[in-house]
């Protein structure tokens, strides 16, 4: 059931991202805080955002039923959907390099999740380790804000937004586990607030990417960089990959590079 919810969420995310892209491009002020506020009056963008929110609920439900390392990478299925939608919109089909980018993303992330699933073990989410994640989130958010003062490309915004959503998924899973296990503490509320912050900042950066790039690029970031961030956080900080062999780690690096190359191909004009 967890996999079914994840796949349904991936489809909603793909369609929602495509509709959002149309809404952003129909709004002249699609960038910055003013542009973000202007989108709130755009019915097309609101429709796309509603589907994206629905996809988030699907992902949260799937995280209750299956491990993050299995659920999150399934979102790459949405790349096929958004590629098809974009090809229909352009009526010219996807160029060869874009098709190659989609294939590399799917192959890379599929190999990554298979290796990570085989090599992972139960995570240890102690309060100290959760605080480490919160500190890293603050540092990454600050670094992304500074980066976007000099680099305002669609790729930069897409990758930064995807990293924020990776933090969101990681923190959301921790909060859900604590709530369902009735082990709620003051730290749980901090985790929830941090997850909300990551969602808002990630959404803001993704909308800036929408105004500059294609929906395929945006979704590639969300379905490749997002799960990579989540798996690396749980693997490094919470120790789910502590028992992985050197060969498995090398395979994950290669798979990540392949998926990253696909994102770069999709970012080319």
What is the pLDDT, as a whole number, of residue 268? 65
What is the pLDDT, as a whole number, of residue 31? 55
140 HSE (CA, 13 A, CB side): 23
What is the pLDDT, as a whole number, of residue 1? 67
For tokens 């202007």, what's the residue? 38
| Contact between 232 and 88 (Cβ < 8 Å) | no
The stretches of the chain forming alpha helices (DSSP H) are: 2-25, 32-39, 43-65, 68-71, 77-90, 96-119, 127-147, 154-180, 186-212, 215-220, 226-236, 246-267
What is the pLDDT, as a whole number, of residue 247? 86
What is the pLDDT, as a whole number, of residue 89? 67
For 49, other C-beta atoms within 10 Å of its C-beta total: 20
Angle at 72 between CA 71 and CA 78, to 5 degrees: 105
pLDDT digit string (tens) for the chain, length 269 residues: 667 787 887 788 778 877 877 777 666 555 556 666 677 777 887 888 888 888 877 777 777 776 666 666 667 777 777 777 766 766 666 677 777 887 888 888 778 877 877 777 766 678 888 899 999 999 999 999 998 888 888 888 888 998 998 898 888 888 888 888 888 889 999 999 999 999 899 888 888 887 777 777 777 777 778 777 877 887 788 777 777 788 888 888 898 888 888 877 776 65
């Amino acid at each position: 059931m967890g996999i079914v919810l994840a796949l349904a969420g991936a489809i909603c995310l793909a369609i929602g991202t495509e509709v959002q892209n149309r809404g952003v491009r129909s709004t002249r002020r699609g960038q910055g805080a003013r542009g973000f506020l202007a989108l709130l009056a755009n019915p097309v963008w609101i429709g796309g955002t509603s589907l994206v929110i629905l996809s988030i609920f699907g992902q949260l439900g799937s995280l209750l039923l299956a491990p993050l390392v299995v659920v999150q990478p399934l979102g790459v299925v949405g790349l096929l959907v958004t590629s098809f939608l974009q090809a229909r919109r352009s009526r010219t089909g996807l160029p060869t390099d874009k098709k190659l980018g989609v294939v590399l993303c799917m192959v890379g992330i599929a190999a990554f999740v298979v290796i990570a699933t085989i090599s992972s073990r139960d995570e240890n989410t102690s309060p100290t380790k959760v605080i480490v994640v919160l500190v890293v989130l603050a540092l990454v958010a600050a670094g992304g804000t500074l980066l976007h003062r000099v680099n305002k490309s669609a790729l930069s915004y897409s990758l930064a937004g995807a990293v924020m959503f990776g933090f969101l998924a990681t923190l959301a899973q921790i909060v859900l586990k604590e709530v369902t296990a009735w082990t709620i503490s003051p730290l749980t509320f901090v985790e929830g607030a941090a997850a909300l912050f990551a969602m808002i900042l990630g959404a803001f950066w993704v909308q800036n990417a929408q105004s500059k790039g294609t929906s395929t690029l945006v979704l590639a970031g969300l379905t490749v960089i997002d799960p990579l961030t989540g798996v690396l956080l749980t693997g490094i900080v919470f120790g789910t990959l502590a028992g992985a062999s050197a060969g498995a780690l090398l395979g994950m690096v290669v798979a990540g590079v392949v998926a990253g190359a696909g994102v770069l191909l999709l970012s080319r004009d």
